[in-house]
Amino acid sequence: MNISNVIVSDEIDKKGIEILDRNGLKVTYKPDIEKEELLKIIKDYDILIVRSRTKVLRDVIDASNLKIIARVGVGLDNIDVKYAKEKGISVINAEEAAMSSVAELVIGLMIGLARGITKADTSMKNGKWIKKELVGYELKGKYLGIIGVGKIGKRVGRIAKALGMNLIGYDVVQIDKEFVRETNMITADLDTLLKNADYITLHVPLTEQTRHMLNKDKLMLMKKSAYIINTSRGGVIDEDALYHVLKDGMIAGAALDVFEEEPPRNIELVRLSNVICTPHIGAQTKEAQELASTIVAEKIIQKLRE
Ligand code: NAD
């Protein structure tokens, strides 16, 4: 492929840009570009590199002469992959880069829920000493339900196992047998997992099949004492239903890194006292960003050599 003009329309780690520069590509870095401007200039570029902010839908694709769209991250739900492929555009991502970062955040959020860490911190900053109210739980011996046992789900499972948790897994494909043997994971259908787990963590992509896979009926299957952690995509849980089950005490609590709309429209959900929120920081570590940017740049160079 004889192409060279690259536009980067979201903030990415510089390592990837250095690799592209070294390989003779001309890179325009516009991490704050507005959609109107992107639509005007996109025709001049062969390669578009994005993270989550830029939505690469039909309008952008139709205005372009792109050969490659690259996402410095895992999920591709901000790109119309089907349409891009119909137009002969290659779509590249960095599947492996965020595994440890997201998994470690999940464990942090789970401990945060179990021990009321955010509540403890807020109360102390307000000059209170509410020790008696802060009787928490150990994770050891509890059942962790993992929905989507892929790269991140497995990493979470391995760390949770080391903390003495028992694992229950659900996936649409057969779960890696070696992993099941290694961790003694109980494999189950979705309803069985929801009814039995003390903590439930979601690691599925957002697709037509997974959108609102946890609706009110499914959430109502959970134990009243159970917690849910979502670091996958906001759309996999029906947020309005989640708000009601949390508010009515039908489940114990939730930790959310992702939202149906970001920043979240559903501010009542964020404000509930049994909810911990983070602003989509699953992959927001120095290591994950550097790795994602490097992987994507190397995949682009590889593609150009084909
Ligand atoms: P992966 O492809 O390795 O694993 C996803 C798993 O989900 C697969 O095993 C797949 O079979 C399973 N799955 C798909 N549809 C399903 C369904 N309907 N029911 C049950 N299981 C289903 O992906 P991964 O690297 O583990 O990442 C998982 C998701 O995490 C990504 O798609 C992305 O949306 C999200 N993510 C979030 C952040 C963040 O910043 N919070 C960062 C990276 C990734």
Give me the CATH number covering residue 129: 3.40.50.720
What is the pLDDT at residue 266? 83
Same domain, 90 and 103: no
Contacts of 185-194 spanning 24+ positions with Cβ under 8 A: 185/146, 185/149, 185/157, 190/147, 190/218, 191/218, 191/221, 192/168, 193/145, 193/147, 193/168, 193/169, 194/145, 194/218, 194/219, 194/221, 194/222
Same domain, 140 and 238: yes
Note if 233 is an active site residue: yes
Which residue is catalytic, options 280, 290, 305, 306?
280
Is 306 in contact with 90 (CB distance < 8 Å)? no
Same domain, 68 and 186: no
Note if 18 is an active site residue: no
- The domain of 157 spans 99-277
Q: What is the pLDDT of residues 208-262, one digit of tens each?
A: 999 999 999 999 999 999 999 999 999 999 999 999 999 999 999 999 999 999 9
Q: What is the pLDDT of residues 28-58, one digit of tens each?
A: 999 999 999 999 999 999 999 999 999 999 9
What is the pLDDT at residue 4? 79
Nearest CA to ligand 1 atom 15: 204
Note if 280 is an active site residue: yes
| Mean pLDDT on 155-172 | 98
Number of domains in the chain: 2
Cα–Cα distance measured from residue 57 to residue 49, given in angstroms and rounded to the nearest whole number: 14
Same domain, 130 and 257: yes
Same domain, 257 and 144: yes
Q: What percent of the chain has pLDDT over 90?
A: 96
Same domain, 80 and 131: no
Same domain, 169 and 45: no
Mutate to test the pocket of ligand 1, among 101, 102, 176, 180 (most ligand atoms within 8 A of CB): 102
Mutate to test the pocket of ligand 1, among 107, 171, 281 (most ligand atoms within 8 A of CB): 171
Given a cut of 70, whether residue 1 has pLDDT beyond it is: no
Same domain, 151 and 13: no
- Which amino acid does the sequence have at 72? V
Residue 47 CA to ligand 1 center (angstroms) comes to: 26
